[in-house]
Each structure stands twice: as C-alpha cells, then as structure tokens.
Chains A and B, each alone.
Chain A
Amino acid sequence: MIELFRRLIFLPVGASTVADGVDALHAFVITATMLVSTYVFGAAAWFTVRYRRKSDRQLTRRLSATVRHEASIITLVLGTFLLWWVLGFRQYVEMVQPPRDSDVVYVEAKQWMWKFTYPDGRDTNDVLTVPVGRPIRLAMTSRDVIHSFYVPSFRIKQDVLPGRYTAVWFEATQTGTFPIWCAEYCGVSHSRMRGEVVVLSQADYALWLRSGKGQTAEIDCGRGPGSCGGGDLVAIGRQVALRRACVACHTLDGQRHVGPTWSGLYGSQRTLADGRKVVADDAYLTRSMMEPAADVVAGYAQVMPTYQGSLTAAETGALVELIRSLRDGPVAPAGVALPALEITTAADGGRGP
C-alpha cells in the first residue's frame, strides 16, 4: 500500500525508521488536498451550470450563511488541521530527539563538501558509512556558511550552521547507497555539494571498521594535521586534551581543579550558576567548549576561554568521546579500545561503549 503510494507520487524508498510514518501522514494530507480542491472546483462548476444566468437583469434572492453552517465548517476544517498537527508534531519530536544510545559521527560541512569523522578517529569525505539497524547521531557544524544535510531516503534534513553544533539522527532500515544533498543555498557549487550514505550490514560494517578504509583524522598533535596518527578517538582525545592544555584545569580522575573533573561528567545532571539544571550531553559539552560563558557550572569561576574556531570538528569529537569514555568512573582502563560504533549485542543492553 505505502509502496504503491510512494511510486505514485515519486517518493524515494523509505530507508529509515521514521520514513513509513512520515509517508503515511503525507498520504493522508495529500489525499485530503486532492479531495477538497476537487470539491471546490466541482461545486463551483455545478453552481455555474445549475444557476446559469438567464437574463442580464436577472435578480436573485438574498441567501446568507447561518452561524451554524459557518461554525460547523470551521470546526470540521480546523479539526482536520489540528489532527495533522498532532500527528506531525509527534513525528517531529521523534525525529529531533536522538535515542540515548545512538552512535555519534561528527560532520563538518564546508563549501562544497561533507567531511565525516568517526568515533574511531578516521575520517572520510562525502561518504558516510554506517551500519544498518543502529541509531546514528550526527553532530554537525560548518566552517563557512549555512548548509543543510539532507538524505531524502531517510526523510531527514537539518541545517548546518557555522559557529554552533546542530544534530540530526537516523536509523537505517535497509542496506544500500543513498544520496546526500545540500539543501541550503551555499554558493556557486551548491548543487554539486553531494555525498552519499553507505549503509552496510552489521557484518560488513565490522569488516569495514577493521579494514581501516578512509583516511586518518587530521587531528593536530603538534606536528601538523594528521600527526596524531590513527588510533581510537578516546586516545586521540587524550592527546588533544594534553596539547590544548585542557588538563591544566580539568582532571580525568575525579579531582576538583580549576574546572570540574571530567570523570563521571557525561550524562550527569549539572547545576549551573544561574540555577538551571541541564544534562551533560554532547550538545552541552560542545557548547561548554565553544561558549563557556553560556552555561557556567555552579561553584566555578567563569575563567575558561572559548575554543570557538580553534578546535576542529574532529578534535571536538575526540574530546567529547574522551569525556564520554569517563562516564562511569574515574579512569577508563588504559589501552582499551573503545570503538563507540561497536556493534550492539543484547548483552550490553543496547548501549554503546
């Protein structure tokens, strides 16, 4: 049924968990539109024939709306609209709130390419490789102007802004290659800013992970871009934290220093100086680095400098991944590889690392 509908109105395959719901609402709305426009046109045509003018001086009787008639129409139409709104809003909420256990990939957009940085530190241009059946969250930023990350087959789209991180998530339901298009005008080659999502089966994905395809992340460890070498993102995060002197103020082992410790920080509830309470998720952590003044933790002075513009997306990703690895205890066991996109097994409760 839904497949037929898709073919009928040229929708691409629905390859994500949200696609079926969106398309069903689409079908509902479009059918109603067709019916109503046909009704209006049909009624107008019928009245034109039925009440055609017989003489140029013909007089007509006064016919006016009753309040009941107007009110019932308004109720009916508004009711339909509100029903759509309720359905649409529920889906929208689902579409913007990533599941808690989703894996993260960092996306950096620039005129006119997409760059993806994976939890294990490698990065690729224009090709995003993901496993089927896992929620993937993209933390995205732009180096220049506004772009928009659009995968029609997943029915997702999100603007990518300079100077801040925005997020979008999806869970692919079928393997294959799906186009990515930039949907916000960004300059002369806007229409060529295309990429693709390659969705692999979980087994193929594990192979891909091991194969080391894709280049190494261009994270700067002091000897130029790429000098951190490969390795997992947490290890790179440690090097970045050292090199950027985060550890001058933050500890990894639970001790209070100039700033709060990173141990046990991820996912915890933070109380801010102005009384607000927020959960330390990726967005909060990235914001803390880019705009430290925006959310000052209670009990600390606002002395942290901003790293806006000096940390690259890949470095930011590595730092967040490091902090994430410390979520459950003072120190992550050294040397343990923590590929966050590790294929889920029932045993670890569907959580990532």
Chain B
Amino acid sequence: MSDTTVLAPQEHFATIEQQAHAARLGMWVFLASEVLLFGAIIALFTSYQVHYPDAFRQGVDHNTKLLGSINTGVLLTSSTAVACSVHALRAGKRRLAGLLVAATIALGAVFLVIKLTEYAKHFHEGIYPGGAGSFFQVHHARGLPEFWTLYFGMTGLHALHVTIGLTVLGVLLSRIMRAELGAASAHRLELGAIYWHLVDVIWIFLWPLLYLA
C-alpha cells in the first residue's frame, strides 16, 4: 500500500529534493538553537553545583533514581520506535509506520505520567520551586533551594518540549492514517522524528545531572 502520489515542490523550490534538504537543514539549525537554550540553564546548574556541592548531592540523592532511570528507558525506546517508523514509511509500510508512531506517542505519555507522579511526590513533601514549602524549613543546606528551583525549571521546560513533540507526532500520525503522508513525503515524518530525538537527547543530559551525579 505504498502511495504513488508524486509531490510537487512549493513554487520557490526547483525540486522536491531541494525542498526536503531545506526542511531538514532548517530542523537541524533549529535544534542547534534548542541545544543552546538548554545549554544556558545546564551551565547555570553546573555553576551552582560547583558552588554548593553538598546541597546538590543531597538534592540528587533525594530524587528517586529508579523513576528517573525508567523514564530514560521509556524515552530511549520511544526514540527507537520513531526512528523505525521513518524507515517503515520510506519502505512504503504505512500501517507499520503509523503503529510505531502511535507507540512513540504512548511512551511519551508514559514519560509525562511518571514525571507528574514525581512532581506530586515533591509537592507532597513540601518541595516547591523558589525555596517555598515545609521541606526547606527542615533542610537548611545552603543552595538546596537553588537545586530544587533548577530541578523544576529544567524538567518543566523539558516536559514542555515533550508535550510539543507529542502534539507534532499526533498531527503526523493523523496524516499518516489519512494517507496524506507516504513514502514520497517521508521527510516530513523524519523532521518530527528528529525533534523527538532532541527531546530524548536533552533528557540524556538531565538524567545524570538530576538523578545520578
């Protein structure tokens, strides 16, 4: 059930290859800029970590390694799934591609659920950003509020990216199902997949910083 529609490029492009090339490069450039966005807050995190090694160790120890690691696994699997879906679509296996994208979305949702569970746990313990909450009345280590504020900032921003990624994948999925995307336009799905990989890669950086260290 490979599709046979030959796509015409937009009028300012000479060929569809040129258009695909432009789109892919555009996505990479955008990712570079995203990396710098997270780079800024990670740089801030590491600076404070050097400054308050103990508080940051306490903070990391307080986090549940298991949940963080499960989430890493979840995201890595989802990334593999979406990568396979691109291959499948290229090979003309639209149904399989659709299934894989759906799996990716499901895994992404699992990630968010686990993340929210963790948040709920923190709030329960009285940990809020900005050093607010009962937790900080008991734990005084200097720099502890900074750890938790940065923790919420970084994971929150990441979760926002996950949500955006899920939305994009959702749109792509519906277009695959309506047969608007096929082998010839697989680069569209590829763009979504690249973005999803980015979401994954960023987590790979956050995970050791916030859970292992």
Contacts and interface: CB of A to CB of B under 8 A. Distances in A.
Interface in B102-153: 140-143
A294 interface: yes
Name the 8 nearest CB pairs between A and B, nearest first: A293-B54, A306-B142, A293-B142, A291-B142, A293-B52, A302-B54, A293-B141, A294-B51
User: How big is chain B's contact interface, by range?
Assistant: under 10
B193 to A, nearest CB: 44
Interface of B: 51-52, 54-55, 140-143
A335 B55 CA distance: 43
Nearest to B51: A294
Contacts of A294: 51
A308 B54 CA distance: 18
Nearest to B143: A293
Interface residues of A, number: 7
Contacts of A305: 140
Given A293-B55, A293-B141, A306-B142, 9 more contacts: A291-B142, A293-B52, A293-B54, A293-B142, A293-B143, A294-B51, A302-B54, A305-B140, A308-B142
Interface string A240-262: 00000000000000000000000
Nearest to B52: A293
Contacts of B143: 293
Contacts of B142: 291, 293, 306, 308
Contacts of A293: 52, 54-55, 141-143
Contacts of A302: 54
A311 B52 CA distance: 21
Interface string A290-316: 010110000000100110100000000
Contacts of A291: 142
A92 to B, nearest CB: 24
Nearest to B54: A293
12 contacts: A291-B142, A293-B52, A293-B54, A293-B55, A293-B141, A293-B142, A293-B143, A294-B51, A302-B54, A305-B140, A306-B142, A308-B142
